[in-house]
């Protein structure tokens, strides 16, 4: 399991954009994904990208607004978020093998998330 660190979160106004980054040693060797946890709520799947970046998947609520991408040459993954809404306010986490993570209710290796407050 890759230990991933998410960065780039900052306060943004509704309608604004933000790009989150994820870095991890050996990131290129795994499918990767993003999850988020809003205040007082459970973690929620956001997006995933295949190992080679040739396939992506999005939660219904983000499709059309967010874009997941990766740069395996630099062991980096990104989440471009556009048209942000206050409901997107959450701590965002990147993880390896998101399909597996999604099936593990007691998954604990979330690593360092990045906080994204979206103001109205």
Residue 64 is predicted with a pLDDT of: 94
Count CB neighbours of 33 within 10 A.
Answer: 28
End-to-end CA separation in angstroms for the chain: 37
Query: How does pLDDT run along the chain (120 residues), one tens digit per residue?
Result: 557 899 999 999 999 999 999 999 999 999 999 999 999 999 999 999 999 999 999 999 987 999 999 999 999 999 999 999 999 999 999 999 999 999 998 898 888 899 999 999
pLDDT at 2: 57
């Amino acid at each position: 399991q890759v230990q991933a660190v998410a960065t780039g979160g900052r306060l943004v106004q509704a309608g604004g954009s933000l790009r989150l980054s994820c870095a991890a040693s050996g990131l290129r060797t795994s499918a990767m994904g993003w999850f988020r946890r809003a205040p007082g709520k459970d973690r929620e799947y956001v997006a995933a990208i295949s190992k080679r970046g040739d396939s992506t998947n999005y939660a219904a609520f983000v499709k059309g607004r967010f874009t997941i991408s990766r740069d395996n040459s630099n062991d980096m993954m990104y989440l471009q978020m556009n048209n942000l809404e206050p409901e997107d306010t959450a701590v965002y986490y990147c993880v390896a093998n998101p399909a597996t993570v999604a099936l593990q209710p007691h998954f604990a290796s979330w690593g360092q998330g990045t906080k994204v407050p979206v103001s109205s």
